[in-house]
Amino acid sequence: MTSPAPNPADAVLKGARVFVGVMGGIAAYKTAALVSKLAQAGADVTVAMTPGATHFVTPLTFQSLSARPVYTSPWEHIESQDPQHIALASRTDLAVVAPCTADGLARLATGRCDDVVTLILAAIDRRTTPVLLAPAMNTVMWEQPANQRNVSQLAADGFAFIGPEDGWQACRHVGKGRMSEPEAILQRIVQILSQRVSSPRAPLPG
């Protein structure tokens, strides 16, 4: 029987240290599929969740999929030698926040780090380590001038974006605001990591 052809994406992801931040939105259920795909490709995945995120998906779900402890609080010292999570941030090859809520965008844009996700992101040097945001929210929230200012500020600060997409939303409206599908986010991660390997100092794709 012929073996299946190797997946080029797996070669990029194998051994890659990926940090996944999960914020409090219904789209968090999609992030479980993303973490599973990353782990199956051989990535070393570490997940952190805001308090709101734990109301949609349990930490145990992500722990089971990643085979690693899940960070849920800045006061929770999973690694006793790294109480401020600086080492975790330093060894990350790429960070992705999915879903990234309107509140999360606002906190990142103003430099706040009062939950474990934003705390770890604040310790990541975006000059060398890409941070990809996958926004998800109601279409009216997405279009708010304040939210668009935050998006523009974050793009200027060096964050990369994927989505949001048009489509059906949990609020029973149709419009822009859906989080990109796990497959699309995975492809974007592979694209960014490939670019980082070939040219570590190249600008991140917008």
Per-residue pLDDT, 87: 84
User: Does this model's pTM top 0.75?
Assistant: yes
Q: 10-residue block means of pLDDT along the chain (206 residues)? A: 61 95 96 98 97 97 96 78 76 97 97 94 95 95 97 97 80 77 97 75 43
Domains annotated for the chain, with CATH where assigned, are 14-197 (3.40.50.1950)
Side chain identity at residue 189, one-letter code: I
Could you report how far apart the first and last alpha carbons of the chain are, in Å?
A: 43
- Which residues form the catalytic set? 171
Per-residue pLDDT, 195: 86
Side chain identity at residue 156, one-letter code: A
